[in-house]
């Protein structure tokens, strides 16, 4: 019986198809897939979010949330600026608003009285003998005087109403002005206290308690570092080989850690001087290291000549140490451990192998039995 008959369930796939699994023996044959070359680019680990907190008002720094490396929760006060002067201005503005309301009430009373009890029809003071003076009679507007007329009284009453109505409008405008001034002061008082929009860590403290600051002056830098990213400047010619949510191999400088990174953002424009495009890659949660550290990503180069690269199921990979490994069957059908280097994921279940395997070799999936009898490579 030939070696092939010893493994009746082994399936071989031709060029362009991924490796298949023999269900009975959990044996797979390393398949091939056409793929171009790769370019390894250096990048920097960055936090998912990073904020520079700047002063909104002038004043003296009263409190700070802590030092570099200190953590805080969402809603915590990060920086407060002394607001004694603003509080005094607020009290003054409240007094002005109260006075404006009083003036408004008085103006409304005067307007109502003029509307229902016009002053033009009110008796005027008499002369010394309780008789109208000649001057009063001359300008009486018609009450027993040949010089007056009813139309003159109507014009005068209209003018009085307009005058009182103008005073009401002026009082209303003063109220609006006072309310606007009070709201402006209250907004500045709120700006005196800066609260955290999310859980984070202080990465840089730029001022000390007691410092005098001006609007726009940076105070603190903080970040959300639970999730990390790699930021790399990718040559424009390589960007067509990337797309959002694509998974590529990455290496972190800490312990030479190898992980898969997912394309999160591709900048819409290239840098005008470097002619590169900023690309950000999401890292898995809990990876070692932190912001500012060096990392590398492996970018596919669609412009390079196409090669047939080995493809295996992800279930065949055993992660031990810094490099993954697989169990390769020798000519006698015995499994031996072999280190490999993986590339990008073709889909959720298969990955390209950059080195360590050849198409056509036979490997075992991770569901195989205990490796106690395996030979060392």
Spatial distance between the Cα atoms of 315 and 272, rounded to a whole number of angstroms: 44
Lowest-confidence range among 2-6, 51-55, 215-219, 324-328?
2-6
The first and second tokens of residue 280, run together, are 């950000």
Band the pLDDT of 300: cuts 50, 70, 90. Answer: confident
Q: 257, 251 in Cβ contact below 8 A?
A: yes
The yes-or-no verdict on residue 40 having pLDDT over 50 is yes
The first and second tokens of residue 334, run together, are 């015995």
The first and second tokens of residue 355, run together, are 């080195």
Band the pLDDT of 139: cuts 50, 70, 90. Answer: very low
What is the pTM (predicted TM-score) of this model? 0.54
Summarize pLDDT for 221-243 with one digit per residue, the tens.
Answer: 999 888 999 999 999 999 998 99
Domain interval for residue 174: 85-191
Would you say residue 338 lies in a domain?
yes
The first and second tokens of residue 111, run together, are 């307007």
Would you say residue 159 lies in a domain?
yes
DSSP 8-state assignment for residue 348: S
Angle of CA points 359, 347, 339, to nearest 5°: 45
Summarize pLDDT for 273-295 with one digit per residue, the tens.
Answer: 888 999 999 999 889 888 889 99
- Is residue 115 domain-shared with residue 184, that is, in the same domain? yes
DSSP 8-state assignment for residue 375: B
User: Region 123-151: what's the mean pLDDT?
Assistant: 47
- Is residue 17 domain-shared with residue 92, that is, in the same domain? no
Question: Which of residues 191, 225, 259 is at a domain's end?
Answer: 191
CATH of the domain at 325: 2.40.420.20
Summarize pLDDT for 60-115 with one digit per residue, the tens.
Answer: 999 999 998 898 999 999 999 999 999 999 999 899 888 888 888 887 877 777 67
Q: How many domains is the chain partitioned into structurally?
A: 2
The yes-or-no verdict on residue 247 having pLDDT over 70 is yes
Between β-strands 350-355 and 307-313, what pairing exists: parallel, antiparallel or unpaired? antiparallel
| Element spanning 327, H or E | strand 323-329
Summarize pLDDT for 10-22 with one digit per residue, the tens.
Answer: 333 333 333 443 3
- Is residue 97 domain-shared with residue 17, that is, in the same domain? no
Spatial distance between the Cα atoms of 92 and 85, rounded to a whole number of angstroms: 11
Spatial distance between the Cα atoms of 241 and 288, rounded to a whole number of angstroms: 28
The yes-or-no verdict on residue 319 having pLDDT over 50 is yes
Would you say residue 351 lies in a domain?
yes
pLDDT at 141: 46
Would you say residue 179 lies in a domain?
yes
Between β-strands 323-329 and 335-339, what pairing exists: parallel, antiparallel or unpaired? antiparallel
Question: Which of residues 136, 157, 191 is at a domain's end?
Answer: 191
Question: Which of residues 140, 162, 191 is at a domain's end?
Answer: 191
pLDDT at 64: 93
Share the mean pLDDT of the chain.
79
Q: 293: exposed, middle or buried (C-beta count within 10 Å: 0-12, 13-18, 19+)? A: middle
Angle of CA points 42, 278, 354, to nearest 5°: 45
pLDDT at 158: 65
Would you say residue 18 lies in a domain?
yes
Would you say residue 113 lies in a domain?
yes
Would you say residue 99 lies in a domain?
yes
Spatial distance between the Cα atoms of 346 and 327, rounded to a whole number of angstroms: 21
Would you say residue 108 lies in a domain?
yes
pLDDT at 4: 39
pLDDT at 33: 75
């Amino acid at each position: 019986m030939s070696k092939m008959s010893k493994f009746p369930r082994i399936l071989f796939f031709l060029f362009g198809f991924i490796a298949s699994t023999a269900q009975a023996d959990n044996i797979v044959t390393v398949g091939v897939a056409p793929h171009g070359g790769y370019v390894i680019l250096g990048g920097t680990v960055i936090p998912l979010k990073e904020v520079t907190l700047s002063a909104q008002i002038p004043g003296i720094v009263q409190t700070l949330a802590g030092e570099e490396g200190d953590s805080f929760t969402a809603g915590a006060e990060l920086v407060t600026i002394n607001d004694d002067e603003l509080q005094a201005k607020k009290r003054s503005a409240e007094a002005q608003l109260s006075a404006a309301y009083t003036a408004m009430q008085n103006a409304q009373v005067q307007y109502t009285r003029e509307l229902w009890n016009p002053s033009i029809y009110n008796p005027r003071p008499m002369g010394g003998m309780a008789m109208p003076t000649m001057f009063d009679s001359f300008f009486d507007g018609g009450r027993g005087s040949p010089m007056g007329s009813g139309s003159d009284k109507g014009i005068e009453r209209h003018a009085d109403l307009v005058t009182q109505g103008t005073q009401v409008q002026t009082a209303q405008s003063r109220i609006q002005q006072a309310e606007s001034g009070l709201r402006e002061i209250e907004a500045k008082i709120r700006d005196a206290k800066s609260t955290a929009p999310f859980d984070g860590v202080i990465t840089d403290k730029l001022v000390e308690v007691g410092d005098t600051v001006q609007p726009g002056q940076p105070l603190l830098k903080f970040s959300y570092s639970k999730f990390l990213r790699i930021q790399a400047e990718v040559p424009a010619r390589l960007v067509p080989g990337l797309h959002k949510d694509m998974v590529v191999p990455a290496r972190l400088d800490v312990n030479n850690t190898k992980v898969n990174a997912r394309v999160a953002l591709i900048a819409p424009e290239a840098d005008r001087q470097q002619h590169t495009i900023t690309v950000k890659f999401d890292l898995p949660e809990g990876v070692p290291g932190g912001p500012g550290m060096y990392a590398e990503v492996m970018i596919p180069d669609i412009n390079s000549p196409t090669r047939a690269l080995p493809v295996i199921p992800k279930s065949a990979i055993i992660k031990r140490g810094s490099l993954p490994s697989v169990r390769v069957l020798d000519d006698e059908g015995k499994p031996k451990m072999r280190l490999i280097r993986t590339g990008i994921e073709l889909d959720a279940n298969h990955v390209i192998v950059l080195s360590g395997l050849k198409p056509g070799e036979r490997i075992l999936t991770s569901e195989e039995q205990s490796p106690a009898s395996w030979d060392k490579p």
